Chain A
């Protein structure tokens, strides 16, 4: 279970701008939500706080009972390594690793042996429709295929929480639809909590629930379109 309570973030020191003002959110395991909002409203900021990449000025983030504020930098790093999966707009697939190695990366970070991690990576690659491409290189793939690799990588270590910030921002609508469907399916299969940040209503529509971020709240959006 993920629980944000009274989460607050200001930028620019005292008297600076408050981007997030006492935001609350509760998500149960297996939930898959989309967060939408105007550009600059603080969506990425919120994800960074949830991921422990940034520290809030007030409020707490708890995942399965762990309060992130109690962890130091190394503690947070270990926590991310074990519990989190990421999908980025810029795919961040490392150019000098093979596709399978890229997918296996989270397992390596957990100290898993090469053989088993490579097996898991192959399985994940197959699950995202890239069976048999283990030894291929990132430069041989299209943007959509690269994002599939990123999705495989985000889920290979069975995280409790998957965060995706504009995962389809760099893709055409057709590809985007495929990738989003895949992401949703894989997150479901893993039984993880999924948070998808997006501008696009089509993308948001793939989620169970859609929340709109305003400065101080996450307001549920009823399907208006």
Chain B
């Protein structure tokens, strides 16, 4: 490429400053979102990973069980094996702070075993404390992060909730190896005693004998594992944790890609129009010796430059966004995957480079068709025809292509997820958008036919123009279609999701009042006595107790939540979906379990309870929006009989007639003390949950709004560019006697028809995309289904507004062009 020619092409970018700026903005927005999501997530994951790695230290293998732990007899067996060089037992408790909603990760360790396997966890006695303080049962050691978060210093007192009682511990030192994490360490014996976990362990970290391979070690030790207890390489545990949040990140990234695609469309619109405008200019350049390939390369370069500038701005903006979001929302953007870590942002050249390349690609992709179009025009013809009489030759009606793209989209939906990412679904979304763009001219023609009875000259002129240059409809309408389709799809998806969640909450929270031992942890629980006292509280007609634990169904998946509660034989309390089976030993699995482990109603499911396996029959599948890695419901009587675990985490209280929830809550507080119990009325939980839901989706609404505004700007920019190119036409029309208002009406009709076609196409395509989002993308990433609900009224209002705004944009753009004196416009050459 001859660099000397740069002014010829770049000058044109500068000449259409506004549209260039809009394209840059759209691309920058997409890139910024993508970069922000990626960078935040990487920072969080890094810190998380780092934490996991320091926690597992030098371990070759880890023995892990359910959250409730496993029998510590296993430790003796394993530690004595010749394959094992060193073994260190751990007991982890999510300890609730007394009278405080927060909880802290408390790790019980054996300091004599720790050094060889997890040196980072080693507690460090403070000044003036002897080594033995690490063994005293009321001493706790806090990582620097925990000290800071809790506002505690050496010698201070940390009060935790154990069962329903307060437990005061003295801060006797630190855990310097765990900088960046919020953890507390204490003697394992003390943890077992304080938290009612006598004889329990949650993990054993192992180092194998020198020279013994991982596989050999695993093979030798695996037979020793009781049911539900597994041998994992530390990396597996890390990968499982990372996998959990991946779908979330991928979905956010997809939003970024959507913004990027909108940007690409905008580049397409502006490039296509500018190419139409510069048609004779290119013909002239070709005539005086600019080669076809070179013209094409220069036009692609224009797109690339828009991409580079947008990309650079986007990367910078993305880092800014990431920093702000980390400050405000934390590493998981408020979604709860990475509680208790404080990630730091680092510049990642690779990420920045990848997104920059994406921006350039978006710019070049947008410029591709117009560039090819321009390079293929015959110079002799273009020099003769001049002006904008001939549109984009390539953009004719392609109903066949539309059908083809839609069919391919249907096929793509059948593809299974790839590594938990619904690639097929995303491909289907792209194909559906393409189908919509192909069908645009046809739609515009049909709409235009509807106006045939109107005899007014301006309307007839507008119709004639649309029929003559369908390419312009595609160019101006594609942006509207893309942004409308995505907005419609998101609107339907979110409405369906919200409705389903609302329904689900009603089903899953049948009681009036809920009591919790502790928010997340296992340090707060109800023993048999507490359960009796709760049930015996005046005003309580019935108390259903709920026990949470985890089970590991396979070494390849994260543990699954086990929920024991009182259930009818047919499980009618659950939000069941699909087929049900009658059985005497039922469990009900969530959709995630069905998807991830391939169980169906009627299948036998082997559950490890208290170290031994028990066979159950899957009686049905229920919908669960809360636990992405799966949950299993089991009748609590049966759980207690098989596990011997009498404790409960939550209670659902059905009130006696005439009692109010607040009165009963007050009585409960009186009985147990105000600080130990967490009480919530069903209505409150529902309201809070929906509020969180709405807040989460507020981000997407914002993105949609931005996409729609960008789409509208696209229409305005397209019409402005077209209007400028049509100055001569306007001048001529004014000459032969059209009034200014009539020209305005003509333009409004053109704008409305174009945007109408875009909005109609957007509705259809958006509806199809919402189906893909619901049935494929959500199902494959989060494993949950939802009932489809279409918010007809708001969609209608939205589309109407879009069409009106587009018509207005067209008129405004035209007015700008008409300001020129009619005489001048006819005479002027360019």
By the criterion CB–CB under 8 Å, are B379 and A53 in contact? yes
Contact of B288 among A73, A95, A97, A106 (CB under 8 A): A106
Instruction: Type the 1/0 row for A102-127, where 1 means its CB is closer than 8 Å to any CB of B.
Output: 00011011111110010000000000
Cβ of B715 to closest chain A Cβ, rounded Å: 25
Instruction: Type the 1/0 row for A68-97, where 1 means its CB is closer than 8 Å to any CB of B.
Output: 000001100110111011101011101111
Shortest Cβ distance from A77 into B: residue: B291
Given contacts A94-B281, A96-B14, A170-B829, contact A114 B289 (CB under 8 A): no
By the criterion CB–CB under 8 Å, are B284 and A88 in contact? yes
Instruction: Type the 1/0 row for B4-22, where 1 means its CB is closer than 8 Å to any CB of A.
Output: 1101100110110000000
The yes or no answer to B398 lying at the interface (CB within 8 A) is no
Shortest Cβ distance from A107 into B: residue: B4
Contact of A54 among B291, B292, B380 (CB under 8 A): B380
Residues on the B chain within 8 Å of A80, using CB: 287-289
Cβ of A141 to closest chain B Cβ, rounded Å: 12
The yes or no answer to A198 lying at the interface (CB within 8 A) is no
| Residue picked from B4, B8, B286, B289, most chain A C-beta under 10 Å | B289
Contact of A74 among B5, B15, B293, B830 (CB under 8 A): B293
By the criterion CB–CB under 8 Å, are B4 and A77 in contact? no
By the criterion CB–CB under 8 Å, are B7 and A97 in contact? yes
Residues on the A chain within 8 Å of B455, using CB: none
The yes or no answer to A60 lying at the interface (CB within 8 A) is no
Given contacts A74-B291, A82-B289, contact A44 B829 (CB under 8 A): no
By the criterion CB–CB under 8 Å, are A81 and B293 in contact? no
Interface residues on B, range: 20 to 34
Shortest Cβ distance from B9 into A: residue: A96
Contact of B4 among A74, A78, A81, A112 (CB under 8 A): A112
By the criterion CB–CB under 8 Å, are A86 and B288 in contact? yes
The yes or no answer to B579 lying at the interface (CB within 8 A) is no
Shortest Cβ distance from B286 into A: residue: A77
Residues on the B chain within 8 Å of A168, using CB: none
Cβ of A115 to closest chain B Cβ, rounded Å: 11
Cβ of B647 to closest chain A Cβ, rounded Å: 79
Given contacts A44-B384, A88-B284, A90-B386, contact A95 B5 (CB under 8 A): no
Cβ of B329 to closest chain A Cβ, rounded Å: 46
The yes or no answer to A51 lying at the interface (CB within 8 A) is yes
Expressed in whole angstroms, the Cα–Cα distance for A44 and B287 within the complex equals 14
Residues on the A chain within 8 Å of B705, using CB: none
Cβ of B258 to closest chain A Cβ, rounded Å: 34
Expressed in whole angstroms, the Cα–Cα distance for A78 and B290 within the complex equals 8
By the criterion CB–CB under 8 Å, are A92 and B289 in contact? no
Expressed in whole angstroms, the Cα–Cα distance for A23 and B107 within the complex equals 99
By the criterion CB–CB under 8 Å, are B288 and A105 in contact? yes
The yes or no answer to A8 lying at the interface (CB within 8 A) is no
Contact of B280 among A92, A106, A111, A117 (CB under 8 A): A92
Shortest Cβ distance from B291 into A: residue: A77
By the criterion CB–CB under 8 Å, are A108 and B4 in contact? yes
Residues on the B chain within 8 Å of A101, using CB: 7
By the criterion CB–CB under 8 Å, are B280 and A97 in contact? no
By the criterion CB–CB under 8 Å, are B281 and A92 in contact? yes
The yes or no answer to B2 lying at the interface (CB within 8 A) is yes
By the criterion CB–CB under 8 Å, are B380 and A53 in contact? yes
The chain A residues found within 8 Å of chain B, CB to CB, are 44, 48, 51, 53-54, 73-74, 77-78, 80-82, 84-86, 88, 90-92, 94-97, 101, 105-106, 108-114, 117, 153, 170
Closest 8 A/B residue pairs (Cβ): A81-B289, A96-B11, A108-B4, A53-B380, A92-B284, A48-B380, A77-B291, A80-B289
